[in-house]
Amino acid sequence: MMTLDRAKNIGRWHPDALAWIEKAWIEDLEISLDGLRWNPQTLKQISTTAFGLSKTLGRIGEMMKLLAEIEVRLFQLREKIGIDRKAPSNLLPRVAAFIVEKNGLIAPGKWIPDILDRAACFDPIHTINRDSVSLQISDLAAFQLDHVILLGNAVNWPGEEDWRQVTLQKIDTIPQDLEFPPAAIHFSKAPACWIRSSPSVFDAVQEAAELIHSI
């Protein structure tokens, strides 16, 4: 558990808001300050929780600037893609992100559908809820995927309870036992950005857009 004094020390000696929130996240698997609980489920909650934490630590100005810059970057990204923010799902590429596990695949939920949505993609696996889903290759035909993004091999996957303990190993080639026809296969170069609920998660939106829309 991170204490308020320790958190303030982190905020004091890290000049960059993103850096000290990342450090707080990496070094302490649980953050609870003055009733603020870091357990976001969506991209919006990641932003609001980061904002609340920065307010508690007296770094609100830096975080406001960071979040504003992120929103501008995401708006410009959408403009570059050329697909309206309100475009219906049937006009978007059908995309899913997977973690490769020993006995199959995991389609992580929570903010992953938001990442794909902000990158002008549609995640058909999480239309009902945001729980992570364990799947076999044979299950994927029903989702009619256009693209698959592989985030990595799961060295440690503790389950839906705590993503903060997930450990991934980057994969650069398609495992011989994995085939996703007719979907195109892409490999994330920064899988930690996808699963870490800190402001760096927005880098995953950029990566998704580059992989799917070739921008």
Asked if 194 and 115 count as a contact pair (C-beta separation under 8 A), the reply is yes
Asked if 130 and 44 count as a contact pair (C-beta separation under 8 A), the reply is no
* Whole-number Cα distances in Å, 84 to 30, 32, 40, 87: 38, 38, 26, 5
To the nearest 10 degrees (0 to 180), the angle between helices 17-27 and 43-56 is 100
Cα–Cα distance for residue pair 51/178, rounded to 1 Å: 40
Domain shared by 95 and 49, yes or no:
no
Q: How many residues does the chain have?
A: 215
Asked if 89 and 122 count as a contact pair (C-beta separation under 8 A), the reply is yes
Task: Examine the fold and report which residue of 28, 62, 81 is the final residue of a domain before the chain moves on.
Answer: 81
Domain shared by 107 and 175, yes or no:
yes
Task: Examine the fold and report which residue of 28, 57, 81 is the final residue of a domain before the chain moves on.
Answer: 81
pLDDT tens-digit map of 131-182:
999 998 889 889 999 999 999 888 777 666 566 667 788 777 777 667 777 8
Angle value at C-alpha 149, between 147 and 153, nearest 5 degrees: 145
State what percent of residues in the chain have pLDDT above 70. 76
Give the CATH number of the domain where residue 207 resides: 3.40.50.1980
Give me the pLDDT at residue 124, please. 97
Domain shared by 59 and 100, yes or no:
no
- Token pair 């969506």 in the structure block, residue: 42
* Sites in the chain below the pLDDT cut of 50: 1-2, 11-15, 17, 26-34
Domain shared by 115 and 148, yes or no:
yes
Domain shared by 161 and 189, yes or no:
yes
Cα–Cα distance for residue pair 35/24, rounded to 1 Å: 16
DSSP state of 111: T
CA dihedral sign, ordered 118, 122, 128, 132? negative
Domain shared by 178 and 98, yes or no:
yes
- N- to C-terminal Cα separation, the chain: 41
Domain shared by 97 and 200, yes or no:
yes
pTM of structure: 0.81
Give me the pLDDT at residue 85, please. 85
Domain shared by 63 and 94, yes or no:
no
Domain limits for position 66: 4-81
Give me the pLDDT at residue 28, please. 42
Domain shared by 71 and 121, yes or no:
no
CA dihedral sign, ordered 135, 114, 142, 82? negative
Domain shared by 77 and 101, yes or no:
no
Quote the number of domains for the chain.
Answer: 2
Give me the pLDDT at residue 138, please. 85
Task: Examine the fold and report which residue of 24, 49, 81 is the final residue of a domain before the chain moves on.
Answer: 81
Domain shared by 100 and 58, yes or no:
no
Domain shared by 28 and 76, yes or no:
yes
